[in-house]
Amino acid sequence: MHFPISMALPARFAGPLPERCDVVVIGGGVIGVMTAWFLAERGLRVVVCEKGRVAGEQSSRNWGWIRQQGRDPAELPIMIESLRLWQGLAQSLRNPFSFRQTGVLYLANREESLARYEDWLCHARDQGLDSRMLGRRELAERLPGAADLWQGALFTASDAQAEPWAAVPALAAGAVERGVTIIEDCAVRAIDLEAGRVVGVATERGRIRAPEVVLAGGAWSSIFARAHGVDLPQLSVLASVAQTDPLPEVHPGAAADDEFAFRRREDGGYTIAGGSEHDFFIGPDAFRHFFKYRKAVKKDFLNTHYRWLAPRNYPDAWNTPRTWSKGAPTPFEAIRVLNPSPNLATLSRAAAAFGRAFPGVGRPRIRATWAGMIDTMPDVVPVIDRAPRLPGLTIATGMSGHGFGIGPGVGRVVADLVCGREVGHDLTRFRLSRFSDGSEIVLGPSL
Ligand SMILES: Cc1cc2nc3c(=O)[nH]c(=O)nc-3n(C[C@H](O)[C@H](O)[C@H](O)COP(=O)(O)OP(=O)(O)OC[C@H]3O[C@@H](n4cnc5c(N)ncnc54)[C@H](O)[C@@H]3O)c2cc1C
């Protein structure tokens, strides 16, 4: 598919590159854009540098789910705030991204899934969420015409969705209106340091002096951080997605079971995918971090297609340089927009599963396919922290497949972290040192 946000699009955000500012944000995905938005609201001069196009990578390729359901307990309060922020953003920007609260359903193929959902409900109750279990009968009423495949479901009516390729560019335009400078085609090559402290960045277009830098580089954050001596054990997995032709409505929101996931799109089709099925390219970082990922590998082994050799210049490809000099082109310029090929076999299985689940609709015709590289951490929760040994650097990355929905909330939190304000949430779970201080890896609840 010719993905809607690609280098074929002329740059919409073109600077100019200032000599100095208060904060440079690396990466124009949802995390970088929303961090910049809130920093500007706090009165700071902010520049977002994006090597390719705003939202060209994960932030436009995702499923578009804005869900509280199934979140790690430490993420939940930020996600609840994020949902409130989405409501306000949709209202103030006149909702060009079709934000709507249509609910999320986790459909249980097995008793064991039901038990897991029930276990998670205690977190929902603690936070006053409207999540609840649906029995077979209630589920049949909610999904009329569906085959009787599921034992029950977990449902959160207040969960939402938005069209991601429209959302993040609109949020970026809103940030610019609030005073943020966004520069596309502008890779940050390195952080400039003086006496061990951040004093700015070297970009491919020149230097910007700034006392604070935020790294929100998605799948590229790990190689960027490592080149500065910061060990960020992040890896990426390839997730494939399809868009169907318009079809009758089976559910207005989003749903998933063991075999497939779908979201009813604004255009009357569905965004569908293979549930938790994904591909993983084995590269040098996979070996380097294997020990930290052993729990995640064990849990996800059967859903993962392992592949040798990432395509050239991918973040963990064997040929990708791990060090470079500031004056020379970097890996970030070699791939402006990471546009992996989807796994069509996965998508074909997802389409078949959709057809079995909704026999009245049948197997959908696929209109378009694409894929994205999800940046993940060993425990499937992000890193949101000040870099321990690089004063002036804040890291907000590793959103682990669920950063779109929580993006506005994380942006607000990161902005306050940078400003030295009270962030209002406990960020202990998201500290970088959890991977090096001997802490046990505790997997987040990817239900
Ligand atoms: C297929 C798929 C489905 C998903 N479904 C959902 C979902 O339904 N709900 C949900 O909440 N989340 C979902 N996610 C996850 C979500 O999309 C991500 O967690 C989120 O978009 C991450 O945002 P980000 O800003 O951290 O990274 P990105 O969106 O990847 O942005 C990082 C940006 O940084 C830029 N960059 C990197 N290095 C440099 C550099 N040195 N200089 C300049 N720029 C640089 C990159 O070009 C990129 O544009 C999904 C992801 C995928 C791929």
Centre of ligand 1 from the C-alpha of residue 339, in Å:
12
Q: What is the DSSP string of 117-167?
A: HHHHHHHHHHTT---EEE-HHHHHHHSTT--S--SEEEEETT-EE--HHHH
Q: Which two tokens stand for residue 104?
A: 């999320």
Residue 272 has a pLDDT of 98
Centre of ligand 1 from the C-alpha of residue 267, in Å:
23
Mutate which of 57, 189, 240 for ligand 1? The one with the most ligand atoms within 8 Å of its CB, which is: 57
Name, in order, each residue with C-beta under 8 angstroms of 19's C-beta and a sequence gap of 6 or more: 207, 208, 209
Residue corresponding to tokens 């979140």: 71
For ligand 1, atom 21, the nearest C-alpha belongs to: 59
Q: Which two tokens stand for residue 351?
A: 């389409």
Residue 447 has a pLDDT of 66
Give per-residue pLDDT as tens, 155-185: 999 999 999 999 999 999 999 999 999 999 9
Taking the CA of residue 374 as reference, the ligand 1 atom at the shortest distance is: 53
Give per-residue pLDDT as tens, 381-435: 999 999 988 999 999 999 999 999 999 999 999 999 999 999 999 999 999 999 9
* 32, 218 contact by CB (below 8 A): no
For ligand 1, atom 19, the nearest C-alpha belongs to: 403
Arithmetic mean of pLDDT, 41-69: 98
For ligand 1, atom 35, the nearest C-alpha belongs to: 27
Residue 300 has a pLDDT of 81
Does the pLDDT at position 2 exceed 80? no
- E strand or H helix that includes residue 279: strand 278-282
Binding-site residues, ligand 1, Cβ < 6 A: 26-32, 49-52, 56-59, 61-65, 187-188, 216-220, 224, 239, 241, 332, 372, 374, 397, 399, 401-405
Centre of ligand 1 from the C-alpha of residue 399, in Å:
8
Give per-residue pLDDT as tens, 97-137: 999 999 999 999 999 999 999 999 999 999 999 999 999 99
Q: Please report the domains of the chain, with CATH numbers, ordered by start residue.
A: 23-435 (3.50.50.60)
* 401, 376 contact by CB (below 8 A): yes
Instruction: Give Cα separations from 354 to 61, 104, 272, 335, 382 (angstroms).
Output: 20, 16, 8, 34, 31
Centre of ligand 1 from the C-alpha of residue 375, in Å:
7
Does the pLDDT at position 1 exceed 60? no
Other C-beta atoms lying within 10 Å of the C-beta of residue 236:
28
